[in-house]
Amino acid sequence: MGRAFVFGDNIDTDVLAPGYLMKLPPAELARRCLEAVDPSFAKTVNPGDFVVAGRNFGMGSSREQAAVSLRELGVKAVLAPSFARIFFRNAINLGLPALVFEGRGTVAAGDELNLDLASGRLTNQTRGETYQLKPLPPNLMAIIEAGGLMPMLKRRFAASRPPGASG
């Protein structure tokens, strides 16, 4: 269970991970995540909290640091009616669930949410409402469950090595 942080349409990657800060290590960059639209976000978000946003979340440049910043802060999932294609894929590849959610207006900032990722069932504990989201397909769920694409591939390649093989 986590709190909802609610944002509008067209949140771009430069707001998630400002370009002029790209040389910072991921943890430091994350401390500046979304500060242009909510200066308190990175200071108040806790692991397990949710970002609930409007259409076209993650538009702009293809920088994966946008998804990295949210993951570094412990965001459990990003829920939005639509995502920029590259942000969506970066999020999944980094193990950050990004789910299509049409009910942004039904969730207020601070609402307590609970997500069953496998079934796509989102419960708003504050309002006593449940929403059915389209769950991620099995191939994307496998990436999320592994913690991202690279951890999944490392496990897969390690399992396929013959006994005694190195490297």
- Give the pLDDT confidence of 57-108 residue by residue, as tens digits: 999 988 899 999 999 999 999 999 999 999 999 999 999 999 999 987 899 9
Cβ proximity of 134 and 120 under 8 Å: yes
Token pair for residue 76? 């459990």
Cβ proximity of 121 and 132 under 8 Å: yes
Cβ proximity of 122 and 79 under 8 Å: yes
Instruction: Scan for tokens 């430069």, then name that residue.
Output: 14
CA distance 116 to 75: 15
Bridge pairing between strands 129-132 and 112-116: unpaired
**In sequence order, what are the residues at sequence separation of 6 or more whose Cβ sits closer than 8 angstroms to the Cβ of residue 56?**
9, 10, 11, 82, 83, 84
- Give the pLDDT confidence of 115-134 residue by residue, as tens digits: 999 999 999 999 999 999 99
Q: 10 Å Cβ neighbour count for 27?
A: 11
Q: What is the mean pLDDT of the chain?
A: 94
CA distance 110 to 78: 15
Which residue segments constitute the domains of the chain, with CATH numbers given? 2-160 (3.20.19.10)
Nearest to 9 by CA among 73, 77, 63, 59: 59
- Give the pLDDT confidence of 5-27 residue by residue, as tens digits: 999 999 999 999 999 999 999 99
